[in-house]
Structure formats: C-alpha cells, structure tokens
C-alpha cells in the first residue's frame, strides 16, 4: 500500500544547529513528493517539491529512490523555523494523477 512515514513526532534543536526531518515513502510508481509546513495559527502551505530542486527558506530535500526517502534538511536552524512539517506524496492513477497523501508530521522546535 502507498504510505508516507515520518518517524519523528518531535525534533528539538538549538538555533544554529543542523536540521534533518526524515520522510520515507512506499510507492511502486514514479513519486511526486512535497514538504508542507504549518506555522502556528496559519494554514498549511507548500514549502517545497522535489521536482523543483530548489532551496526555500534555506531548506532543501533530495529524492533518493534507492532508499525511498525525501528528507528535509537545513544547515542552520532559525527560531522562525519552528512549525509542524508534513511530507506528502502524489500518486498516479491511469494517467490522471490525483490522490495526495500525507505523513503524520514532525513538530520542529528550535530553541534559542
């Protein structure tokens, strides 16, 4: 079955420390992967997607098909990075890609 796994419910780091939020997926097709972020009292919003291969707010994520992973990384955490982070997978069905599933989320807490 298709699945997105985020093993850490909570990740607490100090400001300036490196951050890695883990995401593994289970899907036999060609995956489309995303990271979404929810800041306190704000809507869930897109952070980045693997197809763009870009850095957003200092975050990057690389798709590793061999390890079926899409970990989110940032070299130096900032306090404003504190938020809930969700990894998401878009699934293909008969050419009409539609289904979008999420992991359980990781709460990142950056301590001063």
Partner 1 sequence: DGGITQSPKYLFRKEGQNVTLSCEQNLNHDAMYWYRQDPGQGLRLIYYSQIVNDFQKGDIAEGYSVSREKKESFPLTVTSAQKNPTAFYLCASRTGGGNTEAFFGQGTRLTVV
Residue closer to partner 1 (CB basis): 64 or 78: 64
Binding mask of the shown chain, residues 76 to 95, with x at each position contacting partner 1 by CB under 8 A: ----------x-x-x-x---
Is 17 a residue that touches partner 1 (CB under 8 A)? no
Q: Which of 89, 44, 64 is nearest to 20 (CA)?
A: 64
Could you tell me how many helices (H) and strands (E) the chain has, helices first? 0, 11
Contact code string over 43-82 relative to partner 1, x by CB under 8 A: xxxx--xxxx------------------------------
* Cα dist from 63 to 18, 39, 52, 112, whole Å: 19, 24, 11, 31
- The residues that touch partner 1, with contacts defined as CB under 8 A, are 6, 9, 32, 34, 36, 43-46, 49-52, 86, 88, 90, 92, 96-105
């Amino acid at each position: 079955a298709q699945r997105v796994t985020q093993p850490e419910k909570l990740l607490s780091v100090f400001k300036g420390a490196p951050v890695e939020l883990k995401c593994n997926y289970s899907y036999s097709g060609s995956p489309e992967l995303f990271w979404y972020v929810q800041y306190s009292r704000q809507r869930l919003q897109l952070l980045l997607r693997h197809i763009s291969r870009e850095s957003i707010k200092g975050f990057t994520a690389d798709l590793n098909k061999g390890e079926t992973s899409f970990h989110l990384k940032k070299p130096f955490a900032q306090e404003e990075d504190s938020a809930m982070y969700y990894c998401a997978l878009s699934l293909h069905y008969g050419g009409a890609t539609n289904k979008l599933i999420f992991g359980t989320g990781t709460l990142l807490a950056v301590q001063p």
